Chains A and B, each alone.
Chain A
Amino acid sequence: QVQLQESGPGLVKPSGTLSLTCAVSGDSISSSTWWTWVRQPPGKGLEWIGEINHSESPNYSPSLKSRVTIFVDESKNQFSLKLTSVTAADTAVYYCAGDIDGTFHLDYWGQGALLTVSS
């Protein structure tokens, strides 16, 4: 059974950098799975942020591409999200997920981590 667990600071100051990590168990970070980040602002819908696979270049949402980086740490079997120059609009629950065949087949989900941007 694959399990994903997000971790992060909970609170980030405006103009700062948001960093989140997703620990993966039950699957290798180096498998064919596309490791994905999705976010959900309070009371709103889901937004795809981006994805990474160990052997391919990452893909990012065009609206976030200039501010986002997703990378893998094979030694810790985890992947991470970095979002720079954050504003209140980036306040959301951030989910990590696993796309088992690179077609948006998000079979695994973390429980979600709330990140609030506030001074």
Chain B
Amino acid sequence: QSVLTQPPSASGTPGQRVTISCSGSSSNIGSNDVYWYQQLPGTAPKLLIYRNHQRPSGVPDRFSGSKSDTSASLAISGLRSEDEADYYCAAWDDSLSAGVFGGGTKLTVL
């Protein structure tokens, strides 16, 4: 049972827009920045979104992040086959004094 809650799966067709949610609490998302990581099959995770909505250089602007209260979301527009991956939200938890990940969402491009 992860501290941050994500849907286990999501799907869309090429060109569509999909959204992945991440629900937490006042001790994590409610008081700290949210980060999103993309893990392509068989590879290490990669930073996708930092500080709730910022994109590292090289990440397409098709990826966007937002945060409101104790929830966050990742949106992917213009879905492409290469977006098929696992996506994880993450945040620091002040009550645990530890980092916490969501359970991950497997995105399938149909």
Binding site for B on A (CB under 8 A): 36, 38, 45-48, 50-51, 59-62, 95, 103-107, 109-112
Contacts and interface: CB of A to CB of B under 8 A. Distances in A.
Chain B interface, >50% SS class: strand
6 contacts: A45-B102, A45-B103, A59-B97, A104-B99, A105-B51, A106-B47
A98 to B, nearest CB: 10
Given A46-B90, A103-B32, 17 more contacts: A45-B102, A46-B37, A46-B45, A48-B90, A48-B98, A59-B99, A60-B98, A62-B96, A95-B44, A104-B32, A104-B35, A104-B91, A105-B51, A106-B47, A107-B56, A109-B45, A111-B43
Contacts of A112: 44
Nearest to A109: B44
B62 interface: no
A51 B98 CA distance: 9
Interface of B: 2, 32-33, 35, 37, 39, 43-47, 50-51, 56, 86, 88, 90-92, 96-104
Contacts of B47: 105-107
Contact of A105 (B44, B50, B98, B104): B50
A62 B98 contact: yes
A21 B94 CA distance: 28
B7 to A, nearest CB: 13
Contacts, number: 68
Interface centre among B47, B86, B88, B104 (most CB of A within 10 A): B47
Contact of B46 (A48, A61, A109, A110): A109
B96 A104 contact: no
A50 B100 CA distance: 10
A50 B32 CA distance: 18
B45 A103 contact: no
Contacts of B100: 48
A103 B31 CA distance: 11
A103 B98 contact: no
